Structure 1
Amino acid sequence: MTLSRRSLLAAGATGTLAMTAGCIDFVLGNGPLEFDSDRVAPSDDALTETGYQEKDATEETIERTIELPGGVEREIRAAIWRSVYTKEVEYAGQTNEGAAFAAISIPGMQVAGRSLNPLDELSNKELLERFLEQVPNENGGISNITHTDSFGLDILGDGRKVDVFAGESQFEGETIDIELKLTSFDHEGDLLVLLGTYPKMLTAESANAEQLMESVTHPLSS
């Protein structure tokens, strides 16, 4: 039996888990405790205005073993939504998917006031390292990433801190500067991570990344 994240949050309000079938299986070690997240994505209008197109939208599952009081180990399973968008840009006379935006939703994984989410304590730099490989980059990986700035944006009705990073990639044997923008925050029981990457020289993409961040909807209606 799949136990939703929201029913677990309600159960945790009393400090104990309700003894549903899913919880009993978890406590006895007969099955994992399962969590779900709600998808987050930019608005269609923002995608049209910025020229980005959806490349992939998937719900994937991660599994983790946790240790409960007394040294007892149990399994948890979490469903994560990842939506990726790309844009063809022109650089050095060639056109390719040089800009990308990702919107990721991770379940809060709260049980009896305790977070079981291994990403909760990660900084934006650590989240960037964790999720950057999931963002398409036709020029290869991005290296030498450093933090350069922070600023605020109004996203989902509140002010959010956005961190700016600089990195390097390769294009036709030439090193090019890449800019990355990332914000992460809790919303409606999920941890949201929004990430934009683009060649630094394409200054218009900096504003586009911010527009996509400001436009996101969560939870996204099916």
Structure 2
Amino acid sequence: MSSNRRRFLAGTGTALSGALAGCTGFILGNDALEVSANKATVAQSALDDTEYEENTVEKVDIERTFEVGGQERTVVASNWQAEYDRSVNVSGFDSFRGAKFIAFSTPQVEIDIADRTLNPVGDKSHRDLVKLVQDSYEGLEDVTGVGEYTTSILGSQATVGEYEGEATFAGTGQTVDLTLHVTNPVAHGEDFIVCVGAYPNYPPLTDGEADNIETLFGGVEH
């Protein structure tokens, strides 16, 4: 565990760690414990180089309620998700905004309560993190791992899982083969950063979009 990771412990009849000083309402079960991440976005220069455009940057709250000693404890983690996309042309399809890139930030915090841990991405596999892009599709099926490589994000080396699958794009109904690039969680400051890139798997589009995703990885800001 890194020195700056926030880790809160709670248990029946057990004193909480000093990190929870001032959180009496949470200790007593009267108030929710709220933890927040800072935004992770992509630099405008990287967007210009790849012709990606900002779609949404929004806060995503994850709330969990636990029972400890007959009392409920609620934890709310405020995350940020920035989504970018661009139009692609695939033979046999109308032009559509089928290339996606998502930067997701979440508090680098573990809260161990009644033997359950709230940490949205810290212990997730690449395959679990693929779900971050599922809202962009009406269906994402037959996802298969095809390899791994490393890249640099925010000055740290990140392992990237590469996957292939089949997706139906929301709003268009078009079903295409898809390539996904999913990073492991990268610790930066007091947050974890996860990035996901996705695009139709149709040469010659594939090679160019792989380069674009690499540029976007390098352009992440936090």
Question: Given the two structures, how large is their TM-score scaled by the length of structure 1?
Answer: 0.81
Distance 2:173 2:46 in 1: 34
Q: Is the 8 A contact 2:102 2:133 kept in 1?
A: no
Instruction: Work out whether 1:211 is the aligned partner of 2:218.
Output: no
Distance 1:145 1:199 in 2: 13
How many angstroms does 1:175 deviate by? 5.4
How many angstroms does 1:19 deviate by? 3.4
Distance 1:170 1:61 in 2: 26
User: 1:97-138, CA deviations, whole angstroms, 9 ceiling, x for partnerless residues?
Assistant: 1111111111122459x9631432221101212x1223x34x
How many angstroms does 1:169 deviate by? 2.7
User: 1:162-200, CA deviations, whole angstroms, 9 ceiling, x for partnerless residues?
Assistant: 000000135898853210001032221212110011011
Tell me: CA distance 1:71–1:121, structure 2 relative to 1, closer, same or farther (3 Å).
Answer: farther
2:118 counterpart residue number:
116
Q: How does 1:1-222 map to 2 (within 5 A)?
A: 9=6, 15-20=17-22, 23-68=23-68, 70=69, 72-92=71-91, 94-110=94-110, 116-129=118-131, 131-134=132-135, 136-137=136-137, 140-170=138-168, 176-185=176-185, 186-201=187-202, 202-203=205-206, 204-218=208-222
Distance 1:62 1:11 in 2: 17
Distance 1:106 1:75 in 2: 17
Distance 1:65 1:16 in 2: 22
SS of equivalent residue, structure 2 residue 58? strand
User: 1:132-152, CA deviations, whole angstroms, 9 ceiling, x for partnerless residues?
Assistant: 223x34xx4221001110000
Tell me: CA distance 1:118–1:10, structure 2 relative to 1, closer, same or farther (3 Å).
Answer: closer
SS of equivalent residue, structure 1 residue 39? coil
4+ runs deviating over 4 angstroms: 170-175
Question: Given the two structures, how large is their TM-score scaled by the length of structure 2?
Answer: 0.81
Tell me: CA distance 1:11–1:67, structure 2 relative to 1, closer, same or farther (3 Å).
Answer: closer
Distance 1:65 1:75 in 2: 4
Distance 2:38 2:76 in 1: 15
Unaligned runs of 5+ in 1: 1-6
SS of equivalent residue, structure 1 residue 94? coil
User: 1:65-120, CA deviations, whole angstroms, 9 ceiling, x for partnerless residues?
Assistant: 1355x5653100111101000101112252111111111111122459x9631432
Q: Is the 8 A contact 1:29 1:74 kept in 2?
A: yes
SS of equivalent residue, structure 2 residue 211? helix
Q: Is the 8 A contact 1:109 1:115 kept in 2?
A: no
Tell me: CA distance 1:181–1:73, structure 2 relative to 1, closer, same or farther (3 Å).
Answer: same
Q: Percent same amino acid among aligned pairs?
A: 32
Distance 2:67 2:35 in 1: 17
- Paired letter, 1:75: T
Unaligned runs of 5+ in 2: 10-15
Tell me: CA distance 1:141–1:37, structure 2 relative to 1, closer, same or farther (3 Å).
Answer: same
